[in-house]
Amino acid sequence: MTARRALVVDDSRSARAFLTRVLERYDLKVDGAESAEEAIEYLTHQRPDVIFMDHLMPGMDGFQAVQAIKNNPRTATIPIMMYTSQEGELYLSQARALGAIGVLPKQIKHTDVSKALNQLKLLDEPEVGDMVPVKGPVAPTDAEPPPDTTVERRSPARPKLPPLPPDLRAILDAMLSHHARELHRFVVDSLESQADRVVGDVRLLLHERAEGSTAGGRRRMSWGLGLGLAALLLALLAAVLFGLQWQRLQRSNATLLAAQLSGTQQLLSDTRRNLQLLQAADAAAAASAAAPTNEAGTDAGNPVQSTSIIELVPFGETPLAGARLERVSGLLSRLNAEDFRGVVQIRSIPGRFCMVTGPNGTPALAADATLYSKCEGVGNPRDDNGSAGQRQSVGFANMISLARESARGKYEIQINAGSPDEVLTPYPPISDTLAAGEWNHVAAENNRVEVHWQAAH
């Protein structure tokens, strides 16, 4: 079978080398162009299966190049994926309006490339590591105790709550397992990306050294020895960088897990409340089915039904990304399958955290014992000036765009940015003895994403 071919257009040699390294893992032949003009010249005698186009380049930029390629009948059918650091739903809409099929971020992970190639139908089979959804309950193993015999260990400061019902415990276990898988995948993808970048830079260096070498056996031997030593030093440097990166990931993951554990109890409370809301909605639907209707066929006593869900956002995470992306995607799929008609409103509301400067100069949560008066800043590192578009990842924007296409106008999806003043739990009064841990516990309960959907009958 003829090997599939990709064209990477980017004025950065390291960016081209990095993406080339990743694409070659999927058995693609990769050609490169350092400008849009060179890419258009390339297309006069070559026809790749896909083009990865950078946005900001000297001369003709990526959008102008996409427009020129799509206006040429000979090249109009070649799929183009933007490869850029630009993000947001507005940018994605502009790219698709010109003819691009999507956006691949510069800080890519292998799962991003796999999804993009699957979307382009350039992979014969799914990767072994892709997750396959399993329907139905999972039977507990012999090593797990039955739910009704589990003994909960409580600290003296933990409130006396009734034992969790089996269904809520199953939900919590599934959520914790999902977060563990996401954390493992994040660590692996980060290390692989760093490795690919270092290997790509080494290959570029070796290639440049090989082109600049002159004739002469002894000189070539000395160059080979020098290059070998350089490669060894680079490998040692890469190992050190991997170690430092791993330590940073360990510290950041420990902070993330601590924030997630601090919000677990509130998450359980929200889950119980959502279940109650769903049960109430089912009861209301049953009652409305038996109630008399007016001439338009709507419930005369309750013409509009609405409900909502609340998802907490751990400190430092992009609100509309990660676990929230999967939850919203599942909800929109269910509403689409149920032929829902109405409005779905997605709102990200930031909590105000007590922060200090971390070891690498980025905002970090203050220690629980720190006095509130010692906070170096009170706010949210992901607030991003209150812009709804900046609070979502590229993956979330792609998911919303596909959901709107699938809805075919049956319902409207609105994405809004909420204000920090919209609190679920009131913040404690500020005093000389107020601790940062008490304040940040409330901030974690207010740092959330709310999804409201309203069906008009």
In this predicted structure, the answer to whether residue 51 has a pLDDT above a threshold of 90 is yes
At how many degrees (to 10) do helices 264-290 and 166-212 cross?
120
Mean predicted confidence (pLDDT) in 82-111: 84
At how many degrees (to 10) do helices 89-98 and 62-71 cross?
30
Q: What angle do CA 429, 434, 437 make, to 5 degrees?
A: 110
Give the per-residue pLDDT at 308. Answer: 87
In this predicted structure, the answer to whether residue 171 has a pLDDT above a threshold of 80 is no
Would you say residue 135 lies in a domain? no
Q: How far is CA 445 from the centre of its chain?
A: 21
pLDDT confidence bin for 402, thresholds 50/70/90: confident
Task: Select the highest-mean-pLDDT range: 59-68, 206-215, 389-398, 402-411.
Answer: 59-68
pLDDT: which is higher, 298 or 121: 121
Strands (E), 278-322: 304-312
Give the per-residue pLDDT at 389. Answer: 64
Phi then psi dihedrals of residue 402, to 5 deg: -65, -35
Q: How are beta strands 342-349 and 411-417 bridged, if at all?
A: parallel
Would you say residue 433 lies in a domain? yes
Residues in the chain: 457
d(CA 188, CA 79): 29
Q: How are beta strands 80-84 and 102-105 bridged, if at all?
A: parallel
- The pTM (predicted TM-score) of the whole model is 0.38
- Mean pLDDT value across the chain: 76
279 and 251 co-located in one domain: no
Using alpha carbons, select from 357, 378, 360 the residue that is nearest to residue 436: 378
Total domains in the chain come to: 3
Mean predicted confidence (pLDDT) in 414-419: 87
Would you say residue 48 lies in a domain? yes
State the burial class of residue 260 (Cβ atoms within 10 Å of its Cβ: 0-12, 13-18, 19+): buried
Mean predicted confidence (pLDDT) in 10-19: 90
Q: How far is CA 16 from the centre of its chain?
A: 23
Give the per-residue pLDDT at 397. Answer: 86
172 and 205 co-located in one domain: yes
The helix (H) or strand (E) run that includes residue 455 is strand 448-456
In this predicted structure, the answer to whether residue 26 has a pLDDT above a threshold of 80 is yes
d(CA 417, CA 401): 18
pLDDT: which is higher, 157 or 380: 380
48 and 172 co-located in one domain: no
Using alpha carbons, select from 92, 119, 90 the residue that is nearest to residue 103: 92
In this predicted structure, the answer to whether residue 166 has a pLDDT above a threshold of 90 is no
Residue with tokens 């765009």: 401
d(CA 280, CA 379): 36
Would you say residue 161 lies in a domain? no
Give the per-residue pLDDT at 234. Answer: 82
d(CA 119, CA 117): 5
Q: Are 294 and 457 in contact (CB under 8 A)?
A: no
Q: Are 384 and 391 in contact (CB under 8 A)?
A: yes
In this predicted structure, the answer to whether residue 20 has a pLDDT above a threshold of 80 is yes
pLDDT confidence bin for 227, thresholds 50/70/90: confident
Least confident of 55-69, 129-143, 310-324: 129-143
Query: Which neighbouring-strand residues pair with 312?
Result: 448
Task: Select the highest-mean-pLDDT range: 49-63, 75-89, 374-388.
Answer: 49-63
Mean predicted confidence (pLDDT) in 100-104: 89
Tokens of 380: 């949210």
Q: How far is CA 236 from the centre of its chain?
A: 32
414 and 433 co-located in one domain: yes
56 and 108 co-located in one domain: yes
In this predicted structure, the answer to whether residue 256 has a pLDDT above a threshold of 70 is no
Would you say residue 125 lies in a domain? no
Which tens digits make up the pLDDT trace of 237-254?
A: 887 787 787 777 777 666
In this predicted structure, the answer to whether residue 47 has a pLDDT above a threshold of 90 is yes
Grouping H, G, I as helix, E, B as strand and the rest as coil, residue 311 is: strand
Q: Are 84 and 111 in contact (CB under 8 A)?
A: no
Give the per-residue pLDDT at 180. Answer: 65
Would you say residue 149 lies in a domain? no
273 and 254 co-located in one domain: no
Q: Are 26 and 41 in contact (CB under 8 A)?
A: no
Q: Where are the alpha helices (DSSP H) in 110-216?
A: 110-119, 166-212
d(CA 23, CA 30): 7
pLDDT confidence bin for 383, thresholds 50/70/90: low
Give the per-residue pLDDT at 314. Answer: 92
Tokens of 107: 């800080």
Percentage of the chain beyond pLDDT 90 is 23
Would you say residue 130 lies in a domain? no
**Cβ neighbours, 10 Å, residue 161:** 11
pLDDT: which is higher, 37 or 243: 37
Give the per-residue pLDDT at 163. Answer: 66
Would you say residue 143 lies in a domain? no
352 and 447 co-located in one domain: yes
d(CA 367, CA 436): 7
Least confident of 3-12, 273-282, 420-429: 273-282
pLDDT: which is higher, 250 or 91: 91
In this predicted structure, the answer to whether residue 139 has a pLDDT above a threshold of 50 is no
Domain of residue 234, residue span: 168-259
The CATH number assigned to the domain holding 447 equals 3.30.1330
